[in-house]
A and B are shown apart, each in its own frame.
Chain A
Amino acid sequence: MTASILVIADHNNEQLNAATLNTLQAAVELKAKTGSPITVLVAGAQCEAVAQQAAAVSVVDKVVLIEDDALSSQLAESVAPAVITLTNAATYSHILCAATTFGKDLLPRVAALLDVSQISEIIEVVDADTFVRPIYAGNALATIKSSDAIKVLTVRGTAFDAVAATGGAAEQSRFSVSNSNEMSRFVSEEKTLSERPDLTSAAIIISGGRGMQSGDNFPMLEKVADKLGAAVGASRAAVDAGFVSNDMQVGQTGKIVAPDLYIAVGISGAIQHLAGMKDSKVIVAINKDVEAPIFGVADYGLVADLFEAVPELEQTLS
Protein backbone atom coordinates (compact mmCIF):
# COMPACT_ATOMS: atom_id res chain seq x y z
CA MET A 1 0.00 0.00 0.00
CA THR A 2 1.37 3.39 -0.90
CA ALA A 3 1.85 5.97 1.78
CA SER A 4 -0.43 8.92 1.77
CA ILE A 5 -0.27 12.54 2.87
CA LEU A 6 -2.43 13.18 5.92
CA VAL A 7 -3.88 16.65 6.48
CA ILE A 8 -5.53 17.12 9.88
CA ALA A 9 -8.52 19.42 9.46
CA ASP A 10 -8.87 22.46 11.68
CA HIS A 11 -12.60 22.89 12.32
CA ASN A 12 -15.19 23.72 14.98
CA ASN A 13 -17.36 20.59 14.45
CA GLU A 14 -19.54 22.56 12.04
CA GLN A 15 -17.27 24.36 9.65
CA LEU A 16 -13.91 23.60 8.08
CA ASN A 17 -11.49 26.41 9.03
CA ALA A 18 -10.35 28.25 5.88
CA ALA A 19 -6.71 27.78 6.94
CA THR A 20 -7.11 24.09 6.09
CA LEU A 21 -7.53 25.07 2.42
CA ASN A 22 -4.11 26.76 2.52
CA THR A 23 -2.61 23.69 4.19
CA LEU A 24 -4.09 21.58 1.40
CA GLN A 25 -2.16 23.64 -1.14
CA ALA A 26 1.07 22.56 0.60
CA ALA A 27 -0.23 18.97 0.42
CA VAL A 28 -0.88 19.42 -3.32
CA GLU A 29 2.74 20.49 -3.79
CA LEU A 30 3.89 17.43 -1.85
CA LYS A 31 1.67 15.24 -3.96
CA ALA A 32 3.32 16.67 -7.08
CA LYS A 33 6.72 15.57 -5.69
CA THR A 34 5.70 12.19 -4.32
CA GLY A 35 2.60 11.07 -6.20
CA SER A 36 1.00 10.18 -2.85
CA PRO A 37 -2.74 10.70 -2.42
CA ILE A 38 -4.11 13.29 0.02
CA THR A 39 -6.20 12.15 2.97
CA VAL A 40 -7.99 14.61 5.24
CA LEU A 41 -8.67 13.61 8.83
CA VAL A 42 -11.71 15.16 10.47
CA ALA A 43 -11.67 14.37 14.20
CA GLY A 44 -14.36 15.75 16.47
CA ALA A 45 -17.89 15.22 17.69
CA GLN A 46 -20.97 15.38 15.50
CA CYS A 47 -18.84 16.79 12.77
CA GLU A 48 -20.06 14.87 9.73
CA ALA A 49 -20.85 18.18 8.04
CA VAL A 50 -17.14 19.03 8.18
CA ALA A 51 -16.26 15.69 6.57
CA GLN A 52 -18.72 16.51 3.77
CA GLN A 53 -17.07 19.90 3.27
CA ALA A 54 -13.62 18.29 3.23
CA ALA A 55 -14.78 15.68 0.69
CA ALA A 56 -16.03 18.48 -1.55
CA VAL A 57 -12.59 20.12 -1.71
CA SER A 58 -11.27 19.53 -5.22
CA VAL A 59 -7.79 18.25 -4.32
CA VAL A 60 -8.78 15.79 -1.60
CA ASP A 61 -8.61 12.07 -2.44
CA LYS A 62 -9.94 10.61 0.77
CA VAL A 63 -11.61 11.77 3.98
CA VAL A 64 -11.39 9.86 7.25
CA LEU A 65 -13.93 10.81 9.90
CA ILE A 66 -13.36 10.07 13.58
CA GLU A 67 -16.47 10.99 15.53
CA ASP A 68 -16.41 10.63 19.28
CA ASP A 69 -18.05 12.75 21.97
CA ALA A 70 -14.73 12.75 23.84
CA LEU A 71 -13.29 14.74 20.91
CA SER A 72 -15.90 17.53 21.03
CA SER A 73 -13.53 20.21 22.32
CA GLN A 74 -10.62 18.79 20.31
CA LEU A 75 -8.07 18.98 23.09
CA ALA A 76 -4.60 17.82 22.07
CA GLU A 77 -4.64 15.20 24.85
CA SER A 78 -7.52 13.40 23.12
CA VAL A 79 -6.91 14.19 19.44
CA ALA A 80 -3.21 13.23 19.43
CA PRO A 81 -3.79 9.60 20.53
CA ALA A 82 -6.58 9.34 17.91
CA VAL A 83 -4.14 10.46 15.21
CA ILE A 84 -1.59 7.92 16.47
CA THR A 85 -4.19 5.11 16.34
CA LEU A 86 -4.94 6.11 12.75
CA THR A 87 -1.25 6.21 11.77
CA ASN A 88 -0.89 2.69 13.17
CA ALA A 89 -3.69 1.47 10.90
CA ALA A 90 -2.53 3.12 7.66
CA THR A 91 0.75 4.40 6.24
CA TYR A 92 1.39 8.11 6.10
CA SER A 93 4.51 9.77 4.76
CA HIS A 94 3.56 13.27 5.87
CA ILE A 95 1.24 14.70 8.52
CA LEU A 96 0.25 18.32 8.02
CA CYS A 97 -1.85 20.80 9.93
CA ALA A 98 -2.41 24.53 9.66
CA ALA A 99 -0.22 26.65 11.95
CA THR A 100 -3.29 27.88 13.79
CA THR A 101 -3.43 27.67 17.58
CA PHE A 102 -5.14 24.28 17.08
CA GLY A 103 -2.34 22.96 14.87
CA LYS A 104 0.45 24.48 16.96
CA ASP A 105 -1.00 22.88 20.08
CA LEU A 106 -1.72 19.48 18.57
CA LEU A 107 1.02 18.63 16.10
CA PRO A 108 4.11 18.64 18.34
CA ARG A 109 2.24 16.25 20.64
CA VAL A 110 1.62 13.97 17.65
CA ALA A 111 5.25 14.27 16.52
CA ALA A 112 6.63 13.39 19.95
CA LEU A 113 4.31 10.36 20.25
CA LEU A 114 5.65 9.21 16.87
CA ASP A 115 9.19 10.01 18.04
CA VAL A 116 9.85 12.33 15.10
CA SER A 117 10.98 15.95 14.89
CA GLN A 118 8.49 18.50 13.62
CA ILE A 119 9.16 21.24 11.08
CA SER A 120 7.06 24.24 12.08
CA GLU A 121 5.38 26.83 9.89
CA ILE A 122 6.71 25.80 6.51
CA ILE A 123 6.41 28.42 3.78
CA GLU A 124 7.72 26.35 0.86
CA VAL A 125 7.90 22.70 -0.19
CA VAL A 126 11.31 22.04 -1.77
CA ASP A 127 10.95 18.27 -2.11
CA ALA A 128 9.40 15.38 -0.21
CA ASP A 129 11.64 15.87 2.81
CA THR A 130 12.96 19.42 2.47
CA PHE A 131 11.09 22.56 3.45
CA VAL A 132 11.69 26.28 3.90
CA ARG A 133 10.62 27.93 7.14
CA PRO A 134 11.17 31.35 8.69
CA ILE A 135 13.37 31.66 11.78
CA TYR A 136 14.11 34.73 13.89
CA ALA A 137 10.59 36.00 13.21
CA GLY A 138 11.18 35.87 9.47
CA ASN A 139 14.52 37.70 9.55
CA ALA A 140 16.10 34.57 8.08
CA LEU A 141 14.76 31.68 6.05
CA ALA A 142 16.04 28.19 6.80
CA THR A 143 15.88 25.25 4.42
CA ILE A 144 15.45 22.14 6.56
CA LYS A 145 15.73 18.50 5.54
CA SER A 146 14.13 15.80 7.64
CA SER A 147 15.51 12.27 8.01
CA ASP A 148 12.45 11.00 9.90
CA ALA A 149 10.25 8.36 8.28
CA ILE A 150 7.16 10.49 8.83
CA LYS A 151 7.41 14.21 8.21
CA VAL A 152 5.30 16.23 10.63
CA LEU A 153 4.70 19.78 9.41
CA THR A 154 2.67 22.81 10.36
CA VAL A 155 1.90 25.11 7.45
CA ARG A 156 1.90 28.90 7.51
CA GLY A 157 -1.35 29.86 5.78
CA THR A 158 -0.16 33.17 4.37
CA ALA A 159 2.51 31.37 2.32
CA PHE A 160 0.16 29.10 0.36
CA ASP A 161 -2.89 30.03 -1.73
CA ALA A 162 -6.14 28.40 -0.68
CA VAL A 163 -7.31 25.49 -2.87
CA ALA A 164 -10.84 25.52 -4.27
CA ALA A 165 -13.37 24.48 -1.64
CA THR A 166 -15.65 22.82 -4.15
CA GLY A 167 -15.57 20.52 -7.17
CA GLY A 168 -14.35 17.39 -5.40
CA ALA A 169 -15.96 14.12 -4.44
CA ALA A 170 -13.49 12.34 -2.21
CA GLU A 171 -14.04 8.83 -0.87
CA GLN A 172 -15.26 8.99 2.73
CA SER A 173 -14.74 6.49 5.52
CA ARG A 174 -15.11 6.29 9.27
CA PHE A 175 -12.52 5.22 11.77
CA SER A 176 -13.13 4.56 15.42
CA VAL A 177 -10.81 5.00 18.36
CA SER A 178 -11.17 4.12 21.99
CA ASN A 179 -8.99 6.53 23.87
CA SER A 180 -9.94 8.14 27.11
CA ASN A 181 -8.53 11.42 28.31
CA GLU A 182 -8.55 11.70 32.08
CA MET A 183 -5.90 14.38 32.27
CA SER A 184 -7.52 17.46 30.77
CA ARG A 185 -10.97 18.87 30.42
CA PHE A 186 -12.50 21.76 28.52
CA VAL A 187 -14.03 24.39 30.80
CA SER A 188 -15.19 27.28 28.66
CA GLU A 189 -14.48 29.39 25.64
CA GLU A 190 -14.81 33.09 25.23
CA LYS A 191 -14.70 34.31 21.66
CA THR A 192 -13.64 37.91 21.23
CA LEU A 193 -16.81 39.67 20.21
CA SER A 194 -15.62 42.21 17.77
CA GLU A 195 -17.03 43.55 14.59
CA ARG A 196 -13.47 43.74 13.39
CA PRO A 197 -11.51 40.81 11.98
CA ASP A 198 -8.85 38.96 13.94
CA LEU A 199 -5.33 40.42 13.59
CA THR A 200 -3.82 37.21 12.25
CA SER A 201 -6.45 36.75 9.53
CA ALA A 202 -7.30 40.37 8.62
CA ALA A 203 -6.72 41.51 5.04
CA ILE A 204 -6.08 45.05 6.26
CA ILE A 205 -4.49 46.15 9.53
CA ILE A 206 -4.07 49.64 10.92
CA SER A 207 -1.62 49.85 13.84
CA GLY A 208 -0.67 52.63 16.21
CA GLY A 209 2.61 53.27 17.97
CA ARG A 210 4.03 55.56 20.60
CA GLY A 211 3.13 58.50 18.40
CA MET A 212 -0.53 57.93 19.31
CA GLN A 213 0.38 59.52 22.68
CA SER A 214 -2.50 57.88 24.58
CA GLY A 215 -4.90 54.96 24.47
CA ASP A 216 -7.68 57.56 24.21
CA ASN A 217 -6.53 58.29 20.67
CA PHE A 218 -6.92 54.71 19.42
CA PRO A 219 -10.64 55.19 18.56
CA MET A 220 -9.31 57.39 15.76
CA LEU A 221 -7.71 54.28 14.24
CA GLU A 222 -10.80 52.21 14.97
CA LYS A 223 -12.91 54.57 12.87
CA VAL A 224 -10.60 54.08 9.90
CA ALA A 225 -10.55 50.34 10.58
CA ASP A 226 -14.34 50.20 10.47
CA LYS A 227 -14.37 51.94 7.10
CA LEU A 228 -11.88 49.42 5.71
CA GLY A 229 -13.06 46.27 7.50
CA ALA A 230 -9.61 46.25 9.08
CA ALA A 231 -8.17 44.97 12.35
CA VAL A 232 -6.43 47.32 14.78
CA GLY A 233 -2.93 46.53 16.03
CA ALA A 234 -0.23 48.25 18.03
CA SER A 235 3.53 48.36 18.38
CA ARG A 236 5.29 47.11 21.49
CA ALA A 237 6.07 50.72 22.41
CA ALA A 238 2.35 51.48 22.50
CA VAL A 239 1.65 48.38 24.56
CA ASP A 240 4.52 49.02 26.97
CA ALA A 241 3.33 52.61 27.41
CA GLY A 242 -0.02 51.18 28.50
CA PHE A 243 -2.03 52.65 25.59
CA VAL A 244 -3.60 49.32 24.64
CA SER A 245 -3.58 45.69 25.74
CA ASN A 246 -0.93 43.11 24.89
CA ASP A 247 -3.15 41.08 22.59
CA MET A 248 -2.99 43.90 20.03
CA GLN A 249 0.78 43.76 19.78
CA VAL A 250 2.26 43.14 16.35
CA GLY A 251 5.92 42.21 16.42
CA GLN A 252 8.51 39.56 17.10
CA THR A 253 7.11 38.78 20.56
CA GLY A 254 3.52 39.60 19.59
CA LYS A 255 1.54 38.56 16.57
CA ILE A 256 3.19 37.94 13.22
CA VAL A 257 0.95 39.29 10.49
CA ALA A 258 1.03 39.46 6.70
CA PRO A 259 -2.08 41.31 5.50
CA ASP A 260 -2.63 42.76 2.02
CA LEU A 261 -2.38 46.25 3.48
CA TYR A 262 -0.63 47.33 6.69
CA ILE A 263 -0.99 50.93 7.80
CA ALA A 264 1.56 51.94 10.47
CA VAL A 265 0.56 55.11 12.27
CA GLY A 266 3.00 56.87 14.59
CA ILE A 267 5.22 53.79 14.57
CA SER A 268 8.95 54.43 14.25
CA GLY A 269 9.73 50.93 13.00
CA ALA A 270 11.81 49.20 15.68
CA ILE A 271 13.27 45.82 14.60
CA GLN A 272 10.87 44.16 17.02
CA HIS A 273 7.92 45.58 15.13
CA LEU A 274 9.26 45.17 11.59
CA ALA A 275 9.82 41.47 12.28
CA GLY A 276 6.10 41.07 12.85
CA MET A 277 4.74 42.85 9.78
CA LYS A 278 7.34 43.09 7.05
CA ASP A 279 5.76 40.30 4.99
CA SER A 280 2.65 42.43 4.45
CA LYS A 281 1.94 42.93 0.73
CA VAL A 282 1.63 46.72 0.90
CA ILE A 283 2.91 48.83 3.79
CA VAL A 284 1.85 52.41 4.43
CA ALA A 285 3.62 54.56 7.03
CA ILE A 286 2.24 57.76 8.50
CA ASN A 287 4.78 59.48 10.71
CA LYS A 288 5.89 63.06 11.26
CA ASP A 289 9.54 62.03 11.59
CA VAL A 290 10.96 61.73 8.09
CA GLU A 291 13.95 59.82 9.53
CA ALA A 292 11.79 57.05 11.03
CA PRO A 293 13.04 53.59 9.96
CA ILE A 294 9.49 52.57 9.08
CA PHE A 295 9.82 54.62 5.86
CA GLY A 296 12.63 52.28 4.82
CA VAL A 297 10.18 49.40 4.44
CA ALA A 298 7.02 51.31 3.50
CA ASP A 299 5.68 51.22 -0.06
CA TYR A 300 3.91 54.50 0.59
CA GLY A 301 5.09 56.99 3.16
CA LEU A 302 3.25 60.07 4.33
CA VAL A 303 5.27 62.51 6.41
CA ALA A 304 2.56 64.20 8.42
CA ASP A 305 1.11 64.81 11.85
CA LEU A 306 -1.03 61.74 12.44
CA PHE A 307 -3.61 63.76 14.36
CA GLU A 308 -4.39 65.57 11.13
CA ALA A 309 -3.73 62.79 8.63
CA VAL A 310 -5.77 60.01 10.27
CA PRO A 311 -9.07 61.96 10.51
CA GLU A 312 -8.49 63.14 6.95
CA LEU A 313 -7.93 59.53 5.88
CA GLU A 314 -11.20 58.55 7.50
CA GLN A 315 -12.99 61.38 5.69
CA THR A 316 -11.45 60.45 2.34
CA LEU A 317 -12.59 56.86 2.74
CA SER A 318 -16.18 57.91 3.41
Chain B
Amino acid sequence: MKVLVAIKRVVDANVKIRVKPDNSGVDLANVKMAINPFCEIAVEEAIRLKEKGIASEVLVVSVGDDRCQEQLRTALALGADRAVQIKTDVAVESLGVAKLLNAIVTKEECGLVILGKQSIDSDNNQTGQMLAAIGNMPQGTFASEIEFEEGEVRVTREVDGGLQKVSLALPAVITTDLRLNEPRFASLPNIMKAKRKPLEVLSPEGLNVDVTPRLTTVSVVSPSERQAGVIVSSVAELVEKLKTEAGVL
Protein backbone atom coordinates (compact mmCIF):
# COMPACT_ATOMS: atom_id res chain seq x y z
CA MET B 1 0.00 0.00 0.00
CA LYS B 2 1.32 3.38 -1.01
CA VAL B 3 0.98 6.00 1.73
CA LEU B 4 0.84 9.69 0.94
CA VAL B 5 1.83 12.23 3.58
CA ALA B 6 1.20 15.93 3.10
CA ILE B 7 3.47 18.39 4.88
CA LYS B 8 3.50 22.15 5.26
CA ARG B 9 6.38 24.55 5.79
CA VAL B 10 5.48 26.84 8.68
CA VAL B 11 7.08 29.17 11.20
CA ASP B 12 8.89 27.16 13.87
CA ALA B 13 6.63 26.64 16.90
CA ASN B 14 9.13 28.38 19.19
CA VAL B 15 9.27 31.62 17.23
CA LYS B 16 7.33 34.63 18.48
CA ILE B 17 5.66 35.97 15.38
CA ARG B 18 5.26 39.66 14.48
CA VAL B 19 2.46 41.25 12.56
CA LYS B 20 3.65 43.46 9.67
CA PRO B 21 3.34 47.19 10.39
CA ASP B 22 0.98 47.62 7.39
CA ASN B 23 -1.32 44.90 8.79
CA SER B 24 -1.12 42.89 5.58
CA GLY B 25 0.03 39.71 7.30
CA VAL B 26 2.64 38.14 9.52
CA ASP B 27 6.28 39.02 8.93
CA LEU B 28 8.06 35.86 7.77
CA ALA B 29 11.33 37.49 6.68
CA ASN B 30 14.37 35.82 8.30
CA VAL B 31 12.19 33.68 10.54
CA LYS B 32 13.12 30.07 11.33
CA MET B 33 10.85 27.68 9.44
CA ALA B 34 10.11 24.01 10.05
CA ILE B 35 7.78 21.17 9.16
CA ASN B 36 4.44 21.83 10.85
CA PRO B 37 4.54 19.75 14.10
CA PHE B 38 1.35 17.82 13.27
CA CYS B 39 2.73 17.03 9.78
CA GLU B 40 5.90 15.72 11.40
CA ILE B 41 3.75 13.28 13.37
CA ALA B 42 2.12 12.25 10.07
CA VAL B 43 5.54 11.58 8.50
CA GLU B 44 6.58 9.54 11.54
CA GLU B 45 3.42 7.43 11.42
CA ALA B 46 3.88 6.68 7.72
CA ILE B 47 7.50 5.64 8.27
CA ARG B 48 6.42 3.33 11.11
CA LEU B 49 3.84 1.76 8.79
CA LYS B 50 6.62 1.09 6.32
CA GLU B 51 8.82 -0.38 9.02
CA LYS B 52 5.93 -2.68 9.98
CA GLY B 53 5.56 -3.77 6.35
CA ILE B 54 2.09 -2.22 6.02
CA ALA B 55 3.18 0.60 3.73
CA SER B 56 5.11 -0.27 0.59
CA GLU B 57 6.17 3.28 -0.16
CA VAL B 58 5.92 6.64 1.60
CA LEU B 59 5.33 9.56 -0.71
CA VAL B 60 5.61 13.02 0.82
CA VAL B 61 3.94 16.02 -0.81
CA SER B 62 4.07 19.74 -0.13
CA VAL B 63 2.39 22.68 -1.82
CA GLY B 64 4.47 25.83 -1.97
CA ASP B 65 7.38 27.71 -3.46
CA ASP B 66 10.87 26.22 -3.79
CA ARG B 67 11.69 26.83 -0.16
CA CYS B 68 9.37 23.97 0.85
CA GLN B 69 11.89 21.60 -0.74
CA GLU B 70 13.86 22.06 2.48
CA GLN B 71 11.02 20.47 4.48
CA LEU B 72 10.53 17.77 1.82
CA ARG B 73 14.23 16.88 2.15
CA THR B 74 13.79 16.70 5.93
CA ALA B 75 10.91 14.25 5.47
CA LEU B 76 13.07 12.21 3.08
CA ALA B 77 15.83 12.19 5.70
CA LEU B 78 13.33 10.92 8.26
CA GLY B 79 12.52 7.99 6.00
CA ALA B 80 10.06 8.97 3.26
CA ASP B 81 10.94 7.39 -0.10
CA ARG B 82 9.96 10.02 -2.60
CA ALA B 83 8.86 13.66 -2.60
CA VAL B 84 6.57 15.78 -4.74
CA GLN B 85 6.51 19.56 -4.64
CA ILE B 86 3.43 21.15 -6.13
CA LYS B 87 4.99 24.42 -7.05
CA THR B 88 3.08 27.63 -6.52
CA ASP B 89 4.25 31.06 -5.47
CA VAL B 90 0.86 32.12 -4.11
CA ALA B 91 -0.86 30.96 -0.96
CA VAL B 92 -3.30 28.15 -1.68
CA GLU B 93 -6.37 27.73 0.55
CA SER B 94 -7.21 24.41 2.21
CA LEU B 95 -9.81 23.66 -0.48
CA GLY B 96 -7.20 24.13 -3.21
CA VAL B 97 -4.62 22.03 -1.35
CA ALA B 98 -7.22 19.28 -0.89
CA LYS B 99 -7.93 19.29 -4.64
CA LEU B 100 -4.21 19.15 -5.46
CA LEU B 101 -3.65 16.28 -3.03
CA ASN B 102 -6.63 14.43 -4.45
CA ALA B 103 -5.06 14.67 -7.91
CA ILE B 104 -1.89 13.03 -6.55
CA VAL B 105 -3.84 10.36 -4.61
CA THR B 106 -5.63 9.43 -7.84
CA LYS B 107 -2.52 9.56 -10.00
CA GLU B 108 -0.42 7.53 -7.59
CA GLU B 109 -3.25 5.21 -6.44
CA CYS B 110 -2.49 5.76 -2.76
CA GLY B 111 -4.21 3.51 -0.22
CA LEU B 112 -3.86 5.85 2.71
CA VAL B 113 -3.28 9.56 3.24
CA ILE B 114 -1.94 10.91 6.52
CA LEU B 115 -1.96 14.64 7.26
CA GLY B 116 -1.54 16.81 10.32
CA LYS B 117 -4.88 17.84 11.82
CA GLN B 118 -3.98 21.50 11.37
CA SER B 119 -1.07 23.78 10.64
CA ILE B 120 0.15 26.03 13.40
CA ASP B 121 0.15 29.10 11.15
CA SER B 122 -3.33 29.30 9.63
CA ASP B 123 -4.90 26.93 12.22
CA ASN B 124 -7.62 25.96 9.74
CA ASN B 125 -8.02 22.25 10.50
CA GLN B 126 -9.69 21.62 7.11
CA THR B 127 -7.44 20.02 4.51
CA GLY B 128 -7.79 16.35 5.53
CA GLN B 129 -11.56 16.51 5.80
CA MET B 130 -11.83 18.35 2.46
CA LEU B 131 -9.55 15.84 0.74
CA ALA B 132 -11.70 13.00 2.11
CA ALA B 133 -14.83 14.70 0.77
CA ILE B 134 -13.39 15.40 -2.67
CA GLY B 135 -11.89 11.92 -3.01
CA ASN B 136 -15.04 10.28 -1.59
CA MET B 137 -12.93 8.67 1.14
CA PRO B 138 -13.66 8.15 4.84
CA GLN B 139 -11.86 10.34 7.36
CA GLY B 140 -10.28 9.52 10.71
CA THR B 141 -9.57 12.94 12.13
CA PHE B 142 -7.56 13.79 15.30
CA ALA B 143 -6.07 10.29 15.44
CA SER B 144 -4.21 9.07 18.51
CA GLU B 145 -3.92 5.42 17.40
CA ILE B 146 -4.07 3.55 14.08
CA GLU B 147 -4.45 -0.22 13.64
CA PHE B 148 -4.91 -2.22 10.45
CA GLU B 149 -7.11 -5.23 10.04
CA GLU B 150 -8.44 -6.98 6.95
CA GLY B 151 -8.55 -4.13 4.51
CA GLU B 152 -9.78 -1.66 7.08
CA VAL B 153 -8.08 0.84 9.28
CA ARG B 154 -9.26 1.32 12.84
CA VAL B 155 -8.67 4.83 14.11
CA THR B 156 -8.87 6.05 17.69
CA ARG B 157 -9.95 9.65 17.57
CA GLU B 158 -9.47 12.32 20.23
CA VAL B 159 -12.92 13.82 20.59
CA ASP B 160 -14.25 16.29 23.16
CA GLY B 161 -14.42 14.48 26.46
CA GLY B 162 -12.86 11.18 25.44
CA LEU B 163 -11.86 8.80 22.68
CA GLN B 164 -13.86 7.42 19.78
CA LYS B 165 -12.96 4.40 17.66
CA VAL B 166 -14.06 4.23 14.04
CA SER B 167 -13.34 1.70 11.33
CA LEU B 168 -12.62 3.02 7.85
CA ALA B 169 -12.55 1.30 4.47
CA LEU B 170 -9.44 1.96 2.40
CA PRO B 171 -8.43 4.25 0.81
CA ALA B 172 -8.87 6.56 3.78
CA VAL B 173 -7.67 9.90 5.10
CA ILE B 174 -6.22 10.20 8.60
CA THR B 175 -5.32 13.42 10.39
CA THR B 176 -2.92 13.27 13.31
CA ASP B 177 -3.29 14.50 16.85
CA LEU B 178 -0.44 14.99 19.32
CA ARG B 179 -0.63 11.62 21.03
CA LEU B 180 -0.26 9.50 17.89
CA ASN B 181 3.52 9.20 18.21
CA GLU B 182 6.73 11.01 19.02
CA PRO B 183 8.62 11.87 15.86
CA ARG B 184 12.23 10.73 15.51
CA PHE B 185 15.18 12.92 14.59
CA ALA B 186 16.97 12.55 11.29
CA SER B 187 20.46 11.07 11.50
CA LEU B 188 23.36 12.68 9.63
CA PRO B 189 23.86 9.73 7.23
CA ASN B 190 20.14 9.82 6.44
CA ILE B 191 20.29 13.57 5.81
CA MET B 192 23.08 12.91 3.30
CA LYS B 193 21.14 10.04 1.70
CA ALA B 194 18.01 12.19 1.43
CA LYS B 195 19.80 14.51 -1.00
CA ARG B 196 19.80 11.71 -3.55
CA LYS B 197 16.19 10.64 -3.10
CA PRO B 198 13.80 11.64 -5.93
CA LEU B 199 11.96 14.97 -5.68
CA GLU B 200 9.50 15.68 -8.45
CA VAL B 201 8.14 19.17 -9.14
CA LEU B 202 4.58 19.50 -10.43
CA SER B 203 2.24 22.47 -10.89
CA PRO B 204 -1.47 23.09 -10.22
CA GLU B 205 -1.93 23.73 -13.94
CA GLY B 206 -0.18 20.47 -14.80
CA LEU B 207 -2.54 18.66 -12.44
CA ASN B 208 -5.47 20.56 -13.96
CA VAL B 209 -6.56 21.97 -10.62
CA ASP B 210 -8.02 25.45 -10.17
CA VAL B 211 -6.67 26.94 -6.94
CA THR B 212 -8.15 30.42 -7.32
CA PRO B 213 -8.63 31.83 -3.80
CA ARG B 214 -12.15 32.34 -2.47
CA LEU B 215 -11.10 34.28 0.59
CA THR B 216 -9.41 37.64 0.97
CA THR B 217 -7.40 38.66 3.99
CA VAL B 218 -8.62 42.17 4.76
CA SER B 219 -6.18 42.76 7.59
CA VAL B 220 -4.04 41.05 10.19
CA VAL B 221 -3.58 42.69 13.57
CA SER B 222 -1.94 41.83 16.87
CA PRO B 223 -4.37 40.92 19.62
CA SER B 224 -4.52 43.38 22.47
CA GLU B 225 -1.48 42.79 24.64
CA ARG B 226 -2.04 41.56 28.15
CA GLN B 227 -0.60 43.86 30.73
CA ALA B 228 1.30 42.46 33.66
CA GLY B 229 -0.79 42.76 36.80
CA VAL B 230 0.25 42.92 40.39
CA ILE B 231 2.58 40.84 42.50
CA VAL B 232 0.87 39.66 45.65
CA SER B 233 2.78 38.90 48.80
CA SER B 234 0.97 35.85 50.10
CA VAL B 235 -1.47 33.08 49.28
CA ALA B 236 -4.04 34.72 51.56
CA GLU B 237 -3.78 37.99 49.63
CA LEU B 238 -4.05 36.10 46.34
CA VAL B 239 -7.25 34.31 47.35
CA GLU B 240 -8.68 37.54 48.76
CA LYS B 241 -8.03 39.41 45.48
CA LEU B 242 -9.44 36.56 43.38
CA LYS B 243 -12.62 36.71 45.44
CA THR B 244 -13.17 40.42 45.77
CA GLU B 245 -11.25 42.16 43.00
CA ALA B 246 -11.35 39.61 40.15
CA GLY B 247 -14.57 37.93 41.26
CA VAL B 248 -13.56 34.54 39.88
CA LEU B 249 -13.72 32.50 43.08
Binding site for B on A (CB under 8 A): 75-77, 80, 100-102, 104-113, 115-121, 130, 134-148, 182-192, 198, 200-201, 204, 228, 245-247, 249, 252-254, 260-261, 270-272, 278-279, 281-284, 295-304, 309, 312-313, 316-317
Interface of A is mostly: mixed
Having A110-B133, A187-B165, A272-B14, one finds 12 other A-B pairs with CB under 8 Å, namely A76-B139, A108-B127, A108-B130, A120-B124, A139-B222, A145-B216, A190-B165, A271-B16, A281-B248, A284-B242, A302-B231, A316-B235
Contact B122 A135 (CB under 8 A): yes
Q: A117-B95, A189-B164, A317-B239 are in contact. Are A184 and B216 (CB under 8 A)?
A: no
Contact A108 B239 (CB under 8 A): no
Q: Is the C-beta of B107 less than 8 angstroms from some C-beta in chain A?
A: no
Contact A261 B242 (CB under 8 A): yes
Interface size class for chain B?
Answer: 35 or more
Interface residues of B in 225-249 (CB under 8 A from A): 226, 228-232, 234-236, 238-239, 241-242, 246, 248-249
In the assembled complex, which residues on chain A have CB atoms less than 8 Å from the CB atom of B241?
300
Q: Is the C-beta of B42 less than 8 angstroms from some C-beta in chain A?
A: no
Contact B166 A297 (CB under 8 A): no
In the assembled complex, which residues on chain A have CB atoms less than 8 Å from the CB atom of B26?
135-136, 140
Closest 6 CB pairs of A and B: A108-B129, A299-B229, A112-B133, A112-B130, A184-B138, A187-B165
Q: How far is the CA of A305 from the CA of B111 in the complex (A)?
A: 54
Contact A130 B139 (CB under 8 A): no
Q: A135-B122, A184-B138, A253-B120 are in contact. Are A300 and B242 (CB under 8 A)?
A: yes
B110 CB to nearest A CB, Å:
16
Contact A144 B218 (CB under 8 A): yes
A26 CB to nearest B CB, Å:
18
Contact A189 B162 (CB under 8 A): yes
Contact B17 A140 (CB under 8 A): yes
Residue of A nearest to B221 (CB): A141
Q: A108-B133, A183-B137 are in contact. Are A191 and B214 (CB under 8 A)?
A: no
Interface of B is mostly: mixed
Q: Is the C-beta of B159 less than 8 angstroms from some C-beta in chain A?
A: yes
Q: How far is the CA of A191 from the CA of B161 in the complex (A)?
A: 6
Contact A301 B179 (CB under 8 A): no
Q: Is the C-beta of B168 less than 8 angstroms from some C-beta in chain A?
A: yes
Contact B220 A253 (CB under 8 A): no
Interface string of B147-175 (1 = CB under 8 A from A): 00000001001111111111111001000
In the assembled complex, which residues on chain B have CB atoms less than 8 Å from the CB atom of A252?
13, 120
A–B pairs, 11, beta carbons within 8 Å = A117-B94, A183-B172, A184-B167, A186-B164, A189-B163, A190-B162, A198-B161, A204-B248, A245-B179, A252-B120, A300-B242
Contact A143 B160 (CB under 8 A): no
Q: Which of B165, B179, B248 contacts A189 (CB 8 A)?
A: B165
